């Protein structure tokens, strides 16, 4: 029993990262119908930005400000989110918007996104080198024991952050005016400007939301698994995209549920089988789910008219 509960907690933590990144995918997809394949690498950039912000604020040798870890952590969250959002918006401004203006086929925009991801990965490798970075410890580790189950404060923080982000995004998209505009763009991109809605502003806002939460995920990931490398975003990004699709892409609940589902499946497989079987089982199960529900768990089948 303890074994199961411990694994459920691990799965919740692991699924939170998938959920946080999948939310970014699904936001951009929901508004633009664009699979933003660079999103996993924005997550990686977020982790690196968090690393640099944290070392700058903590400081030891010369450059640093010498703040205490707690203050650093409190400052690190907004700074990372803002800077990562800047990266996401730059990508949108430089690469996607001109293509959108020219009315390129949307698959070409997807290829551009893939290329942007490669540029981010490899320019990181050229500028910072292949050596891995060790993230400094910001939170003092507290472990609570309940019988044989141990819970760290970081684990609770990650899960709470994922749930909070989900609730926040759900509120924005369903209750506010800007969320209404976002849903409107995804419904009809051509009629929306006629209603006096600034379409570019809304799209930039979407990218800000998605990228800043990828940055948050990067910070939390770097705190949980404190080794940074340039390719950390690739695998987790692709898997988060898969999670978003299984939930029904474009649906915020779907991304959230899909992320946690993938986390549960992966941790479940690893706790029973040898860990090399993880991808095989996880993706087979996802394929089965899509086989039974072709539009994902929460997706609505679009009726095609001729």
Partner 1 sequence: MQKYTLNILLGFLCVGILLLCQYDIIDAYIQTVLMFVGINIIMSTSLNLVNGNMGEFSCGHAAFMCVGAYASSVVSVALFGTKLGGPLLPEAWAMFAFPLVILSGGVVAAFAGIIVALPSFKTRGDYLAIITIAVNYMIISAIENMSFIGGPRGFQGMKDTVWAMLDTVELPWMPFWVLFFTLFTIWIIRRFVSSTYGKGVNAICQDEVAAEIMSVNTNKMKLINFMLSSGLAGLAGGLFAHIIGYVNPQSFNILKSTEALVMVYLGGMGSLSGAVISAILFTALLEVLRSQAIIDFLLTPVTFFIPDWEPSAGVIKWVMIPLLLIMIMQFRPEGLMGNKELVDVFPRLRKFYKFK
Distance of alpha carbon 24 from alpha carbon 210, whole angstroms: 4
Residues with Cβ within 8 Å of residue 157, at least 6 apart in sequence: 139, 220
User: In angstroms, what is the minimal distance from the CB of 122 to partner 1?
Assistant: 4
User: In angstroms, what is the minimal distance from the CB of 119 to partner 1?
Assistant: 5
User: In angstroms, what is the minimal distance from the CB of 176 to partner 1?
Assistant: 27
User: In angstroms, what is the minimal distance from the CB of 196 to partner 1?
Assistant: 29
Task: Say if residues 125 and 227 touch (Cβ distance below 8 Å).
Answer: no
User: In angstroms, what is the minimal distance from the CB of 234 to partner 1?
Assistant: 8
Residue 152's φ and ψ, nearest 5 degrees, are: -95, 160
Closer to partner 1 by CB, 35 or 216: give it.
Answer: 35
What DSSP string describes 3-37? HHHHHHHHHHHHHHHHHHHHHHHHHHHHHH----T
Q: Under DSSP, is residue 70 helix (H, G, I), strand (E, B) or coil?
A: helix
Closer to partner 1 by CB, 160 or 287: give it.
Answer: 287
Query: Is the torsion defined by CA of 26, 31, 33, 36 positive or negative?
Result: negative
User: In angstroms, what is the minimal distance from the CB of 230 to partner 1?
Assistant: 10
Closer to partner 1 by CB, 101 or 177: give it.
Answer: 101
Closer to partner 1 by CB, 147 or 187: give it.
Answer: 187
Q: Under DSSP, is residue 94 helix (H, G, I), strand (E, B) or coil?
A: helix
CA angle 172, 47, 90 (to 5 degrees): 60
Distance of alpha carbon 27 from alpha carbon 230, whole angstroms: 25
Q: Which two tokens stand for residue 149?
A: 């189950």
List residues binding partner 1 (CB under 8 A): 29, 35, 95, 98-99, 102, 104-105, 107-108, 110-112, 114-116, 118-119, 121-123, 125-126, 234, 238, 241-242, 245-246, 249, 276-280, 283-284, 286-287, 290-291, 294-296, 302, 304, 306
Neighbours of 188 (CB within 10 A): 10
121: nearest Cα among 269, 215, 229, 220: 229
Closer to partner 1 by CB, 161 or 266: give it.
Answer: 266
Closer to partner 1 by CB, 2 or 279: give it.
Answer: 279
Question: Burial letters for 150-168: b for 16+ Cβ neighbours within 10 Å, e otherwise?
Answer: ebbebbebbbebbeebbee
User: In angstroms, what is the minimal distance from the CB of 295 to partner 1?
Assistant: 7
Closer to partner 1 by CB, 158 or 269: give it.
Answer: 269
User: In angstroms, what is the minimal distance from the CB of 17 to partner 1?
Assistant: 18
Distance of alpha carbon 258 from alpha carbon 266, whole angstroms: 12
């Amino acid at each position: 029993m303890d074994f199961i509960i411990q694994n459920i907690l691990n799965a919740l933590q692991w699924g939170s990262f998938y959920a946080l990144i999948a939310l970014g995918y699904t936001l951009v997809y929901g508004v633009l119908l664009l699979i933003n394949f660079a999103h996993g690498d924005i997550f990686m950039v977020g982790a690196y930005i968090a690393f640099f912000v944290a070392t700058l604020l903590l400081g030891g040798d010369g450059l640093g400000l010498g703040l205490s870890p707690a203050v650093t952590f409190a400052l690190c969250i907004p700074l990372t989110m803002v800077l990562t959002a800047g990266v996401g918006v730059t990508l949108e401004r430089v690469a996607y918007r001109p293509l959108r203006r020219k009315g390129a086929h949307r698959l070409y925009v997807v290829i551009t996104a893939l290329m942007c991801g490669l540029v981010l990965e490899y320019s990181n490798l050229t500028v910072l080198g292949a050596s891995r970075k060790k993230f400094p410890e910001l939170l003092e580790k507290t472990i609570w024991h309940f019988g044989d189950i141990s819970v760290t404060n970081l684990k609770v923080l990650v899960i709470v952050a994922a749930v909070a982000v989900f609730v926040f995004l759900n509120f924005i998209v369903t209750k506010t005016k800007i969320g209404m505009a976002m849903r409107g763009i995804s419904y009809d991109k051509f009629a929306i400007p006629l209603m006096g809605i600034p379409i570019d502003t809304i799209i930039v806002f979407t990218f800000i939301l998605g990228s800043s939460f990828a940055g948050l995920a990067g910070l939390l990931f770097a705190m949980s698994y404190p080794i940074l490398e340039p390719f950390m975003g690739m695998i987790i990004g692709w898997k988060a995209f898969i999670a978003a699709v299984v939930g029904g892409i474009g649906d915020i609940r779907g991304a959230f549920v899909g992320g946690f589902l993938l986390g549960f499946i992966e941790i479940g497989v690893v706790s029973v089988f040898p860990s090399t079987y993880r991808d095989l089982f996880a993706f087979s199960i996802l394929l089965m789910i899509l086989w039974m529900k072709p539009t994902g768990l929460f997706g609505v089948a679009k009726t095609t008219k001729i």
